[in-house]
Structure 1
Amino acid sequence: MSSMSSFRGGYAPRRGRGGWSKTPFVKQKREHTKPDTNKHPLGELLKTIENSDLKSQPSALPADALTSDVRYVASYNWRNDVGATILVPGKPPLWTPLKEAQRLNEDNGIYYRDPNAARSPDYPITPVVQAVLETNPNFDTADVDIVACGSTLGNLLRFVRGQDKPFRFMVETIGNSVFFVRKENDPKETIDGVRGFGHSFPEAYTTWEPEVKGSEAHQRVIQYKFGGMTCMIRFECDGYLKDKITDGKHGTDVLDKPKSNGDDLLSAFNKTAITQPLMNQGSGTERVKIKRGGSEIPQRSIFDLKTRSGKYKTDIDMSDILPQLWVKQVPNFIVAYHDGAGLFRDIRVQDVRTEVHKWEEDNIDAIRRLAVLLKKLVTFAREDGGLLEVYSPGTDRLEVRKQHGQGKNALPHSLRDEWASKSKANMYLSDSDDGGYTLKDGYDSDGGWKADSEDEEPDYTACSAEDCGYCGKCTY
């Protein structure tokens, strides 16, 4: 995400969701950036997974592949402070549409692909763990099978759907959880060829409220059941809709009125819109700084936003957007059409839950293959216990490899220990020489506790319908 000056609290007149991690509107389809295996060499090949391998195992496709039990876990805002700083729980920008349409300037700036890597280059997943433990110090990490970002899970979904996009990410098992960490060619890699109004539009139509002034991006952490596993997913949120907040707990803190069309607004978004390079963010070797502020916003009120040209009267193609909404379990979608010169007169705010559910039903075979793939990766990572990476050259092949050289941990040592110590599974895990975790004596990864183990088998029961009221399919 790019940032905003005094108008929004950043260090350049731009905040635009999409600036950091989303690809904005372009007139021509942009080529995907390929992993640079010369700059970052591949390690030893351990396992190859063909897409056809997943298709050839219909009996292995789990019946519980549909997502369920969707829950908010934590959230945070990246601030524009000197040094990497997050605001927990933070708050998404509020949808505040202009009363009258005004012509906006076209995007013109520097936009980073991954805000978390750009601010915390050594350990991009660190703010997720810090936000979760700050929100709930007693959080039981043993319940979490996968920790990933929406981008990484989205790449795996594209792979099982046969879409040709190269990607790679790092893998490490910490406690009972397998971390998938996005890996770009450079943590401060920028998006080239930005065109359109994918940044200037949200600058004009959403507002950082007073308690989160100085924010630049809102990141959410949710978890849900999928394929018999619990997945914890971090993603960037474009904003929230006030009228979707219906309970008293969250309704009283939404106070701002819609924006006026005053001269101050015009002068704000008519300034030169250039995102400055990140200021002194530090080396990323330490934990990010945490400030408390903001308020939790329910999942039902958040939205994703896209801008498109309405010049040719063609509706947006949802085929690539619905899978993203499914991964992130986002229920609302805003699409804004402009006249080709920055004037937006057709803005549609939509509840897309029905469309997402329909996409899920129509793509159930691919979704089940994704569940099989995730299970394979999790099982392999737990059994190996070392520092791994997953690489797809963009063909119908996925490679699981050792990380090259000494490898890179997902978290700094102290935070790894803290996450592992909060896991009930820690009783049968120990540190390995290569920085990962291995199974202690007495535990067998296939059959559970060995018959000749002197230790009593632990209770793996996470919950029951009687205990937690788990209802199955979540309507988020």
Structure 2
Amino acid sequence: MGKNEYPRKGETGKCHPDPTSPWRDAWMWETVIDSRVIHCVNHPVEPSDSMVSSATGYELVGSYNWKASQDPKIYIPGFAAVLQEVSFPITVPEDQATRSMNDSTARVPECSFEPLFRATASMNPSFRFDEVDILVNRNSLRKLLDFCRGRRQDSFRINLYLVHRTLIIERCEKTVSKLIGGSQNSGWGRNFERTLTRYPPGLEDSTAHQRALRYQLGDLTCVVRFEVDACYERKVEEGGTSQSLARAMSRLQTDDSQGRNASASQQPTQRVPMAQANAAEIKTAARRKTPGAYMPQLWFGRTPWLILGQHTNGTFEKPRITDTAAQFASWEETHQLDLRKLAAVLAQLREAVRENGGKVCIAIHEKATETSNIKVYPSCVAKEAVPEKLKGELWS
């Protein structure tokens, strides 16, 4: 078994790497028990019958901030770093090749959705996943959408679990360093973000804000987890923040004791959750880009604001702030067929796990194959996607 294999706890059987797979993709085959294909999703995909629209709205399921610490600790509820008043132009240093761990898959590999489950139980105790069809990260949805669109992309793997009727799609990367490191030429984005934003009182040692929304994707009820870069709200008047944001900031807990261990029980706090209407994505580019280049990420996260900083070797002029929520309807109309194909793929993946008796499966897309497809294989991992105690709290 290789050093990058997914959790060792509870594994049985012998893993079967595909001998035809390029060596650089061999990691994807770790914990695949044999080469038997349970199901194959072929491109082009037959779309689902139901329309996909963001107009049906969303619900905040839970949110949390990762705390800078050796052990995985989170604040519940979370709050994104708040956009600050900055005089432009500014020059920021180039990002380092590595960044602090804040991805749940890296910090809690045994159960990457556990922080969200604990946030949900604390913030939304009446919420039940019984009627949720799909629990997934935004990153995985973007990869699956690119597959549906026929866009060429790198090979990828996702882990599939079934809890009652809920398909849990877990992000899987080659190494933790890919999750936390970015490319060797990582640009200026992280330092630009740090310069523009500041976490609220009591959350100053946060490293990231993550949240999950429930919304419809055609006939499927989805809970989608993603990271939010910043909290942004339009000013009421020049030189001041809006009253609603100011009220929320004034009610934030300043007691650092609210930071909890991700594996410990959580207690409700008085901290006010950030409104989704204030969620913003921060992007940087050396050349001018349109908001359309980022729309899949924004749409899947229902992120209404895009803050785009254009720079020359790290010197930034005043960023453009775009109300991207106003473009959701036109974007989903243009990409309606692909979104309906995505809904069909998600339904196929859930059915594949059912065909495997509800046992853990692994879905793999290989870049090198002549025909574009996603193949589902049985896994030799015999682990629960949800701790038993949380399963009892969040599923009836």
* TM more than 0.5: yes
Q: Is the 8 A contact 1:65 1:227 kept in 2?
A: yes
Residue 205 of structure 2 is aligned to residue 199 of structure 1: no
Once the 2 structures are TM-superposed, how far is the Cα of residue 100 of structure 1 from its aligned partner?
3.9
Q: Which residue in the other structure is 2:303 paired with?
A: 330
Which digits, 9 at most, give the CA deviation of each residue in 1:41-93, with x for residues without a partner?
Answer: 464320111012x24xx6xx323322322121110000013421110111000
Residue 153 of structure 2 is aligned to residue 169 of structure 1: no
- Letter of the 2:49 partner, please give it: P
SS of the residue 1:139 aligns to: coil
Q: Which residue in the other structure is 1:143 paired with?
A: 131
SS of the residue 1:358 aligns to: helix
Distance in 2, Cα, partners of 1:41 & 1:350: 44
Residue 344 of structure 2 is aligned to residue 372 of structure 1: yes
Q: Given the alignment, which residue of 111, 118, 125 partners 2:113?
A: 125
Distance in 2, Cα, partners of 1:182 & 1:252: 36
Residue 74 of structure 2 is aligned to residue 99 of structure 1: no
SS of the residue 2:28 aligns to: coil
Once the 2 structures are TM-superposed, how far is the Cα of residue 136 of structure 1 from its aligned partner?
1.7
Residue 179 of structure 2 is aligned to residue 179 of structure 1: no
Q: Is the 8 A contact 2:235 2:242 kept in 1?
A: no
Distance in 2, Cα, partners of 1:204 & 1:248: 24
Kindly tell me: are residues 321 and 123 of structure 1, through their superposed partners in 2, closer, same or farther at Cα, counting changes over 3 Å? Answer: same
Kindly tell me: are residues 35 and 411 of structure 1, through their superposed partners in 2, closer, same or farther at Cα, counting changes over 3 Å? Answer: farther
Residue 221 of structure 2 is aligned to residue 230 of structure 1: yes
Kindly tell me: are residues 38 and 172 of structure 1, through their superposed partners in 2, closer, same or farther at Cα, counting changes over 3 Å? Answer: closer
Q: Which residue in the other structure is 1:414 paired with?
A: 389
Correspondence 1:423-438 to 2 at 5 A: 423=396
SS of the residue 2:189 aligns to: coil
- Letter of the 1:303 partner, please give it: A
- Letter of the 1:208 partner, please give it: Y
Distance in 2, Cα, partners of 1:132 & 1:147: 13
Which digits, 9 at most, give the CA deviation of each residue in 1:151-199, with x for residues without a partner?
Answer: 1111111110112222111111113311111111234443231332111
Q: Is the 8 A contact 1:86 1:288 kept in 2?
A: no
What is the percent sequence identity of the aligned residues?
24
Q: Given the alignment, which residue of 339, 347, 355 partners 2:319?
A: 347
- Letter of the 1:411 partner, please give it: V
Once the 2 structures are TM-superposed, how far is the Cα of residue 39 of structure 1 from its aligned partner?
4.8
Q: Given the alignment, which residue of 249, 253, 257 partners 1:254?
A: 249
- Letter of the 2:281 partner, please give it: D
Q: Is the 8 A contact 1:152 1:169 kept in 2?
A: yes
Q: Which residue in the other structure is 1:274 paired with?
A: none
Decide which structure has the larger Cα Rg and report it: 1
Distance in 1, Cα, partners of 2:340 & 2:26: 27
Distance in 1, Cα, partners of 2:28 & 2:331: 35
Q: Which residue in the other structure is 2:278 paired with?
A: 301
Kindly tell me: are residues 140 and 290 of structure 1, through their superposed partners in 2, closer, same or farther at Cα, counting changes over 3 Å? Answer: closer
SS of the residue 2:112 aligns to: coil
Kindly tell me: are residues 82 and 294 of structure 1, through their superposed partners in 2, closer, same or farther at Cα, counting changes over 3 Å? Answer: farther
- Letter of the 1:397 partner, please give it: N
Kindly tell me: are residues 335 and 249 of structure 1, through their superposed partners in 2, closer, same or farther at Cα, counting changes over 3 Å? Answer: closer
Bigger mean CA offset, 155-164 vs 379-388: 379-388
TM-score (norm 2): 0.80
Kindly tell me: are residues 298 and 385 of structure 1, through their superposed partners in 2, closer, same or farther at Cα, counting changes over 3 Å? Answer: same
Distance in 1, Cα, partners of 2:377 & 2:150: 21
Distance in 1, Cα, partners of 2:245 & 2:33: 47
Runs of 5+ consecutive residues of structure 1 not aligned to the other structure: 1-32, 257-283, 424-476
Correspondence 1:108-119 to 2 at 5 A: 108-111=96-99, 115-119=103-107
Q: Which residue in the other structure is 2:28 paired with?
A: 37
Q: Which residue in the other structure is 1:240 paired with?
A: 231
- Letter of the 1:415 partner, please give it: L
Distance in 1, Cα, partners of 2:331 & 2:101: 27
SS of the residue 1:243 aligns to: coil
Q: Is the 8 A contact 1:146 1:232 kept in 2?
A: yes
Distance in 1, Cα, partners of 2:300 & 2:39: 26
Q: Is the 8 A contact 1:47 1:401 kept in 2?
A: yes
Once the 2 structures are TM-superposed, how far is the Cα of residue 317 of structure 1 from its aligned partner?
4.9
Aligned length: 350
Q: Is the 8 A contact 1:84 1:289 kept in 2?
A: no
Once the 2 structures are TM-superposed, how far is the Cα of residue 411 of structure 1 from its aligned partner?
2.6
Distance in 2, Cα, partners of 1:295 & 1:101: 33
Distance in 2, Cα, partners of 1:179 & 1:244: 39
Q: Which residue in the other structure is 1:158 paired with?
A: 146
Kindly tell me: are residues 114 and 193 of structure 1, through their superposed partners in 2, closer, same or farther at Cα, counting changes over 3 Å? Answer: same
Q: Given the alignment, which residue of 280, 287, 295 partners 2:263?
A: 287
Runs of 5+ consecutive residues of structure 2 not aligned to the other structure: 1-23, 252-260
Q: Is the 8 A contact 1:96 1:206 kept in 2?
A: yes
Distance in 2, Cα, partners of 1:230 & 1:347: 35
TM-score (norm 1): 0.68
Once the 2 structures are TM-superposed, how far is the Cα of residue 321 of structure 1 from its aligned partner?
1.1
SS of the residue 2:60 aligns to: strand
Once the 2 structures are TM-superposed, how far is the Cα of residue 295 of structure 1 from its aligned partner?
2.2
Bigger mean CA offset, 228-237 vs 356-365: 356-365
Q: Is the 8 A contact 1:147 1:232 kept in 2?
A: yes
Kindly tell me: are residues 114 and 251 of structure 1, through their superposed partners in 2, closer, same or farther at Cα, counting changes over 3 Å? Answer: closer
Q: Which residue in the other structure is 2:256 paired with?
A: none
Once the 2 structures are TM-superposed, how far is the Cα of residue 215 of structure 1 from its aligned partner?
0.6
Q: Is the 8 A contact 1:90 1:218 kept in 2?
A: yes
